[in-house]
Amino acid sequence: MAAQGSGQDFVDLFLVVPLLLISLFYTNKKSKIATFLLGGTLAYIMYSFVIYSLGIHFNQLFLLYIATLGLSLFAFILYMNDMLGQQTGKWFENAPKKATGAYLIIVAAIFYALWLKSIVPALINNTIPEDVANYDLLVNPVHVLDMGFALPSLIIGGVLLIKGKDNGYLIAGLALVFMMILTIALAGMVIMLLIRGISEDYTIATVFGVLTITSLIFIIRLFKKLKK
């Protein structure tokens, strides 16, 4: 788990922090693309530091985890408070609504199936899922965040986008950026396991790499339709 965390930390330091600062700078200059990048980056930080605050054993950075979580949470609330009144659907012209919305729904379905594959047998057999027992956790916070918040948001955003609703464009833009960053971080975790000799399976890193590239393609296709 420490190896995975260090892999994610490298991604956070060299990708997420610069992306946060650059997107904030250009959002203040009224860049529409930067506005979506900022929201997706804040969502990723908030998601990650819920896990850091609740899923990692107490250590010397505990207060830093909480401070980062709190700052990203309230920044995201302020961001959404502003964006929900922006009629973001009017920012786009001939956007690929159906394909992008379907992609979000399909990704959500895949991850629901992935998590339920380990959870349902454990419930039936009255045991603990392996990914919970191995890390000595009460529950896996990733399961909670994904199935309670992230994946439903993808489905809702996908449905709203297909229907052409303003909030669908907003959620879809944020979700694509969030997924791209998250899959890069997940790939970083797996690569660190390979570097440290803990794992020799390249399959998961390849899957996350494919999701990263696919999300990037949909981001480019969607953002190309932003009006000047």
**Among 21, 54, 33, CA closest to 139:** 54
pTM value? 0.94
Phi and psi, residue 206, nearest 5°: -65, -40
Query: 228 in a domain, yes or no?
Result: no
Identify whether the C-beta of residue 154 lies closer than 8 Å to the C-beta of residue 107.
yes
Residue 200 has pLDDT above 80, yes or no: no
Query: 30 in a domain, yes or no?
Result: yes
pLDDT (0 to 100) of residue 2? 85
**Among 222, 218, 189, CA closest to 106:** 218
Query: 65 in a domain, yes or no?
Result: yes
Q: What is the DSSP string of 108-167?
A: HHHHHHHHHHHHHHHHHHT---HHHHTTT-SS-HHHHHIIIIIHHHHHHHHHHHHTT-HH
Residue 195 has pLDDT above 80, yes or no: yes
**Count of domains forming the chain:** 1
Amino acid occupying residue 151:
L
Query: 27 in a domain, yes or no?
Result: yes
Query: 158 in a domain, yes or no?
Result: yes
Least confident of 71-75, 98-102, 127-131: 127-131
Q: Which domain holds residue 35?
A: 2-223
